[in-house]
Each structure stands twice: as C-alpha cells, then as structure tokens.
Structure 1
Amino acid sequence: MTARKLSISVPPEVEATIKEAAAEEGKPVSAWLAEAAVEKAHAAALHAAGRAAARELVAEYETEHGSLPEESRSRARQFLIEAGLLDEEPWPAAG
C-alpha cells in the first residue's frame, strides 16, 4: 500500500496529546494519526448506517400502521439523541 502525505494543523496542546499517545503505543505519530483517522471514519460510517436503518424501520412501520404519533416520535428522537445515535438536527415530519 502506498502512503500519501497530508499536512494538518493542530493547537499545541493537541500536538502534545497526540505525541504522548503515539509514544505510549510505541508508534510514529503519522501511523498513530492514520489509525485514528481510520477509526473515526469507520465510526462515522457505522453512525450513518444506524441512522439510515432507523429511518428505514420507521418508514416500514408507518407503511404498515400509519404515521407514528408525535409523542412517540419525540420520545424516540430524544432517546436516539441521548444514546449519541442522532444529532440535534430536525427530523422530517411524519407522512
């Protein structure tokens, strides 16, 4: 696998944290950052897939049973926000 060089800018305290973490794991900073980026990208993909699955489940339910009551939608949305599975973005209206 060929490696590509990237340049990033971070505040000094973040630089120190990165260097300390890489040293603790016995890795070069570039390898540590590459692994962190892959982990972050993977987590973002899982998050997006989870949100898509939740929307699909709601759509399937609503197709079979009609629109969810607003109170249920609000409770479900609050749960997903508290679980870290949904951002504070507005949810599309029912129907």
Structure 2
Amino acid sequence: MTARKLSISVPPEVEATIKAAAAEEGKPVSAWLAEAAVEKAQIARLHAQGRAAARELVAEYESKHGKLPEESRQRVRQFIIKAGLLDNEP
C-alpha cells in the first residue's frame, strides 16, 4: 500500500496526547493517526445511518398513523441525543 503525506497542525497538548497514545500502542504516530481517522470516519458513517434510520421510522409511522405527537417527537429526539447520534441542536 502506498502512503501519502499529510501536514496537520495541532495544539501542543494534542500533540503530546497523540504521541503518548501511539507510544502506548507501540505504533508510529502516522499509523496511529491513520487508524484514528478511519475509526472516526466509520463512527460518523454509523451515526449518519442511525439518524437516517430514525427519520425513516418516524416517516413510516407518520404515513400510517398521522403526525407523531410533539411530546413523542421530543422523547425520540432526546433518546437520539443520549445515544450520541445527534448534537443537541435545534
């Protein structure tokens, strides 16, 4: 596999954290960062899929039973926020 060079800028405390974590796992910093980036991308993809599934379920419910009551909609929203699938934004 060929590798491409990237240049990133991080605050000194983040640099120290990265280097310590890579050393703890016995990996070069570049390998550790690449793995962390892949993990972050996978998590973001799963969260997007979770949000899409939640929207689909609500739409399916509403197509059969009418608009979801606002109280129920807010409970669903709070559950999704607690599950880490959505930021607490309007």
How does the TM-score come out when normalised to structure 1? 0.90
Paired residue for 2:34?
Answer: 34
SS at match of 2:5: coil
Letter in 2 for 1:73: R
Root mean square deviation of aligned Cα: 0.9
CA displacement at 1:89 relative to structure 2:
2.9
Q: How far apart, in 1, do the equivalents of 2:25 and 2:81 lie?
A: 33
SS at match of 1:79: helix
Letter in 1 for 2:88: E
Show structure 1 runs of 5+ residues with no match. Answer: 91-95
Paired residue for 1:13?
Answer: 13
How does the TM-score come out when normalised to structure 2? 0.94
Give me the identity figure in percent: 86
Letter in 2 for 1:31: A
Determine whether 1:66 maps to 2:66.
yes
- Count of aligned positions: 90
Q: How far apart, in 1, do the equivalents of 2:89 and 2:2 lie?
A: 38
Cα-to-partner distance string for 1:3-43 (whole Å, 9 max, x where unaligned): 11111101111111111111111110000000000000000
Letter in 1 for 2:17: T
Q: Which segments of structure 1 move beyond 4 Å, counting only runs of 4 or more? A: none
